[in-house]
Amino acid sequence: MSKLNNKQNNKNSPAEEVTRRDFLRKAGAYSAASLTGAAMLLSPKPARATKNVTWAEHFQKNYRLMTDEEKKEAIDRLVKRYSEEFGKTVTVDDAPAMDGVLFGYALNIQKCIGCRRCVKACVAENNQSRGDKQQIEWIRVMRLEKGKFSEKDRDDGGYPQDFGIQVGGNAYKPAGVVLEGQHYYEADKVPEKDAFYLPMQCMQCEKPPCVKVCPVRTTYRDPDGIVVIDYNWCIGCRMCIGACPYWARRFNWGEPDLPAEEMNPKTHYLGNRPRMKGVVEKCTFCVQRTRKGRWTGCVEVCPVGARKLGNLLDPESDVRKILATKKVFRLRADLNTYPKFFYFMD
């Protein structure tokens, strides 16, 4: 595997060819040598993905500002590193947004049965960290309880009486983990009788608050409407996590745990390539698939066809037809984020 692109890249990884002392001396010569750089050398059990990061990768530019040649170099570096780390041929795609395409998504909450196959397919497709230590999921399926009303509750239940107002019935229900629903449900069988489901993920807002607050512009909206992140430029300040009203962004608190045999080798630079610790990630509408004209993992796996993806600029696309004919709403429309993720009912 290490033969891949060896010619171009052996310059960038001095550790391979020079003695340890030489390496340390050279490393010391970087006066801007970062603390993590130091930690990298000293750490008793260095984490896999960080260990092999070359200085060239460490000091590369923001992806959007790279020339085509620099992009190619950066991608070659990644291909080499990933292939070595995971022991298989990994590809890193750099497909830009297609012309004339603006991605939109529509989810039929009437059909969704809360099986969470989308969640699992997403994790398998997008190389999220998994396991007990750090499990990252980009989709959350909220279970919303249907209201329960009983005669007994008319006078006893309801809004706390101490404040002198009585909403009555059970319009007020003691919130569970989450106010309006919760995403930790464990049902024996879905769909449950007394609940319906509302999956949430990144809404790919047209006016994304996360992009606005990013101090280093590592997250940005591509022309096809997908909000992407250059994981190599992210400083981990988590402003975007604070600003996102949909709780869609996830942080790699520790080194991601991605078993080599489960790693999906078809990756995109801005999408599902393996991440490193200390950076933010989120749903990209499977940019590695959709820019090649394929469905996202979640659309493909949904057993009831509740999930639809399409080109908002194409009047014949599924999504446009749904927008034209169904009753559609978006979450938190009051915030003017203009999500391109629509919910609808038949």
Partner 1 sequence: MFWGWMLFLAFFIMLWGYGEYVQLANGMIVTGLNDQVSWGFYLANFVFMVGVAAAAVTVVFPAYVYKHQELHKIVVLGEMLAIAAVVMCLLFVTAHMGRPDRLWHIFPVIGIFNWPNAMLTWDVLVLTGYLALNIIGGFYYLYKKYTGKPVNKLFYLSVVYIAIVWALSIHTVTAFLINTMPARPMWFHSMMPIKFITTAFAAGPSLIIIVFLLVRKFTPMKIADEAFHILSQIVVWCLGIALFLTLSEIVTELYPSTEHSMGLKYLMFGHHGLNALVPFFWTAMALMIGSFILLLIPRVRKNLLLLPFICLAVFVGIYIEKGMGLMIPGVIPTPIGEFAEYTPSNIEFMIVGGVWAIGFFVLTVLIKGAVGIMLGDVRYEEKARRNVQGEQADAVAT
Q: How far is the CB of 6 from partner 1 (least distance, A)?
A: 27
Comparing CB distances to partner 1, the nearer of 8 and 34 is: 34
- Residue 204 CA to residue 335 CA, distance in Å, equals 14
Q: Which stretch binds partner 1 (CB under 8 A): 85-93, 106-114, 146-154, 243-251?
A: 243-251
- 178 scored as a contact of partner 1 (CB under 8 A): yes
Determine, following the binding rule CB under 8 A, whether residue 56 of this chain makes contact with partner 1: no
Q: Does 161 bind partner 1 (CB under 8 A)?
A: no
Is 83 or 219 the residue whose CB approaches partner 1 more closely? 219
C-alpha atoms less than 13 angstroms from C-alpha of 325 in its C-beta half-sphere: 10
Of the candidate spans 76-84, 143-151, 180-188, 284-292, the one that interacts with partner 1 by CB under 8 A turns out to be 180-188
Q: Single out the residue of 203, 234, 263, 319 in contact with partner 1 (rule: CB under 8 A).
A: 234
Examine residue 333 and tell whether it contacts partner 1 (CB under 8 A): no
Minimum distance of partner 1 from residue 111's CB (angstroms): 21
- Residue 116 CA to residue 231 CA, distance in Å, equals 27
The answer to the question of residue 35 lying near partner 1 (CB under 8 A) is yes
Query: Does residue number 62 form part of the binding site for partner 1 (CB under 8 A)?
Result: yes
Give yes or no for residue 11 binding partner 1 (CB under 8 A).
no
* Cα 166-168-173 angle, rounded to 5 deg: 105
268 closest CA partner among 96, 153, 99, 123:
96
Select the residue interacting with partner 1 from 244, 258, 270, 301 (CB under 8 A).
Answer: 244
* Percentages of the chain per state (helix, strand, coil), in multiples of 5: 30, 15, 55
Exactly one of 216, 260, 304, 345 binds partner 1 (CB under 8 A); that residue is 216
Q: Which stretch binds partner 1 (CB under 8 A): 12-20, 41-49, 90-98, 107-115?
A: 41-49
Say how far apart CA 134 and CA 298 lie, in whole Å: 21
**Which strand (E) or helix (H) includes residue 103?**
strand 103-108
Is the Cβ–Cβ distance between 129 and 258 less than 8 Å?
A: yes
How many C-alpha atoms does 48 have within 13 Å on its Cβ side? 15
Single out the segment in contact with partner 1 by CB under 8 A; choices: 44-52, 83-91, 94-102, 284-292.
Answer: 44-52
51 vs 321 by CB, closer to partner 1: 51
DSSP H helical ranges for 157-208: none
Q: Is the dihedral of CA 18, 20, 25, 31 positive or negative?
A: positive
Minimum distance from residue 177 beta carbon to partner 1 (Å): 6
Nearest approach in angstroms of CB 29 to partner 1 is: 17
Q: Tell me which residue has tokens 């200390």.
A: 278
Buried-state track 91-112, b at ≥16 Cβ within 10 A, e below 16: ebbeeebeeebbbbbbbbbebb
Determine, following the binding rule CB under 8 A, whether residue 180 of this chain makes contact with partner 1: yes
Contact range with partner 1 by CB under 8 A, out of 1-9, 92-100, 237-245, 313-321: 237-245
Q: Does 339 bind partner 1 (CB under 8 A)?
A: no
Q: Which of residues 272-311 bind partner 1 (CB under 8 A)?
A: 277-280
CB within 8 A of 161, min separation 6: which ones?
none
CA dihedral 247, 293, 80, 33 (to 10 degrees): -40
Contact positions toward partner 1, by CB under 8 A?
A: 32, 34-39, 42-44, 46-47, 58, 62, 65, 133-134, 140, 142, 163, 174-175, 177-180, 182-183, 200, 209, 212-218, 233-239, 241-247, 250-255, 277-280, 335
